[in-house]
Structure 1
Amino acid sequence: MEPHVTSSDRVALVTGGAKGIGRAIVQDLSQSGWLVAFCDTDREAGEQLAATDRRHIRFFQGDVASETDVERVVAATIEWAGRLDALVNNAGIANPETGPVEQLSLAQWQRRLDVNLTGPFLVTKHAVPTLRESRGAIVNMASTRALQSEPHTEAYAATKGGIVALTHALAMSLGPDIRVNCISPGWIDTRAWQGGKDPVAPLDADDHGQHPAGRVGEPEDIAGLVAYLISPAASFITGQNFVADGGMVRKMIYRE
């Protein structure tokens, strides 16, 4: 069903929206009345999600590392909905582990840069003209790994650190027409949002208890923050990195 877009409709484009945090964002926004286009490389998961609400949701298969795909997805979104009010650059290779740096291949390094960092640049580049018309907002997805690290995660950490820097650079370049912020999630339990058929075992008390907030994060926690940052209520906020990790980045951890 094609949407009948009115002047009061709001339109968002979410990258990497088929599973995990992206899926939660798509569902949260669509349930709030947004028209939501999303892209993903996973056709099966994307079509399954779009089928849940054909009035508000539209899926376009594409890889954010491909400028050809990005141009097509942005153009198709505007053709479908007629405008664009928000961009959520969520797509990324989520696995941070790439092994010892001396064994890290250039291909592994480059693929993570292409998807996690170049991808948000490309989508932003092609969405900016339409976002400027609507005085819209952009939210990029970084990570607490931009601020702290475990061993053997150099490529992933570098891309997420780049997202934080890209965010404040874009905020300066695109303001006041477009606001740009990013979110750095900590441990978000996305297992139930990955499309698997097997039941998900609950996390144990230690998993939750180590967080100052008392629990591991859920995709809905990030979706709610995205919804706020692209809303008029956040009109004075730009260039910021919002850490959503249950307080872990502020926790001093030493072996006793």
Structure 2
Amino acid sequence: MNLPGPSTEAGCCAVVTGAASGIGAATARRLGATGMPVLLCDISPAGEEVAAAVVEAGGTARFVRMDVSDESAWGELRRVAHREFGPVRQLVSNAYVVDVRPVHDLGAASWNRQLEVNLTASYLAFRTLHEDLRATSGAVVLVSSVHALVGLPGHPAYAATKAALVGLGRQLAVDYGPDVRVNTVLPGPIMSPAWDRVAEEDRRLSVEATIAKRFGDPAEVAAAIAFLLSDEASYITATTLVVDGGWSATKNSS
């Protein structure tokens, strides 16, 4: 299989947040396979196993356990990157939390936590790494969701943050181009352990709502992310890419 190569420049690296599982883990493995050194970030220690898998497959990786909403942690991450690999040329902001309940049942602490992890973390990441990204003609992918396009019950904070990421990505592309390209990926129903907590009938309905008639695989989203980061996407910026098997098209049809 031919993989899109990294945006190659000696002594650079990629940062992937939410890398302990799902789309983040698949993205770290994909980028590692292209030869780009990868810093995997997650609050879960399971990221260590993903980093080990990247190395075992022939890539270069290091796991940094951190809370992406902690501003000081980003400064430390940049120091680790420079010490071990060099400046950051690729950033994938993928970490998220979700609390499924309507607004009247959603406490302020939960609302704020979702904003901090799902949205503010991307701001902190870019603010910390913008000099690296500009100096290396870097690329950024923010991982949003089809929840930015379609309202579903019980996701007020999650939907708000994912919609805001689309606007943030476009604004960063305008403010920091042409030196830095910024795009946003909107995954749809992607298979993950979270679906184990969903009723079987709801899972069936989600699959039936896709044109593809199946769940997506995290590796399929990772492939889209890797493409947007690569030099093959050098003329693509300030845009969104929906990876949902046609799910949102069926929701938007009249």
TM-score, scaled relative to structure 2: 0.87
**Following the alignment from structure 1 to structure 2, what is the Cα–Cα distance between the partners of residues 138 and 96?**
26
Partner of 1:246: 245
What is the CA distance between 1:100 and its match in structure 2?
2.4
**Structure 1: gaps spanning 5 or more residues:** 1-5
| Cα shift readout 1:181-204 (whole Å, capped 9, x = no counterpart) | 000100000239x9x9xxxx9x98
The letter of the residue matching 1:49 is V
Asked whether the 8 Å contact 1:40–1:46 carries over to 2, the reply is yes
Partner of 1:101: 103
The letter of the residue matching 1:183 is V
Percent of aligned pairs with the same amino acid: 36
**Following the alignment from structure 1 to structure 2, what is the Cα–Cα distance between the partners of residues 231 and 223?**
12
Shift in alpha-carbon separation, 1:18–1:101, aligned structure 2, 3 A: same
Asked whether the 8 Å contact 2:11–2:87 carries over to 1, the reply is no
Shift in alpha-carbon separation, 1:100–1:179, aligned structure 2, 3 A: same
Asked whether the 8 Å contact 1:74–1:123 carries over to 2, the reply is no
**Which structure has greater helix proportion?**
2
Shift in alpha-carbon separation, 1:52–1:148, aligned structure 2, 3 A: same
Partner of 1:49: 50
| Cα shift readout 1:155-182 (whole Å, capped 9, x = no counterpart) | 1111001100000000000000000000
What is the CA distance between 1:150 and its match in structure 2?
1.2
**Structure 2: gaps spanning 5 or more residues:** 1-7
Moved more, 25-34 or 173-182: 25-34
Asked whether the 8 Å contact 2:209–2:250 carries over to 1, the reply is no
**Following the alignment from structure 1 to structure 2, what is the Cα–Cα distance between the partners of residues 17 and 33?**
17
In the alignment, is residue 213 of structure 1 matched against residue 212 of structure 2?
A: yes
Which of 80, 85, 90 is the aligned partner of 2:89? 85
**Following the alignment from structure 1 to structure 2, what is the Cα–Cα distance between the partners of residues 186 and 7?**
33
Aligned pairs for 1:69-218 within 5 A: 69-93=73-97, 95-97=98-100, 99-191=101-193, 208-218=207-217
The Cα RMSD (Å) is 2.5
The letter of the residue matching 1:58 is R
**Following the alignment from structure 2 to structure 1, what is the Cα–Cα distance between the partners of residues 81 and 21?**
19
Asked whether the 8 Å contact 1:9–1:34 carries over to 2, the reply is no
Number of residue-to-residue matches in the alignment: 240
**Following the alignment from structure 1 to structure 2, what is the Cα–Cα distance between the partners of residues 207 and 91?**
23
**Following the alignment from structure 1 to structure 2, what is the Cα–Cα distance between the partners of residues 135 and 223?**
21
Partner secondary structure for residue 88 of structure 2? coil
Partner secondary structure for residue 153 of structure 2? coil
Asked whether the 8 Å contact 2:166–2:240 carries over to 1, the reply is yes
What is the CA distance between 1:102 and its match in structure 2?
1.6
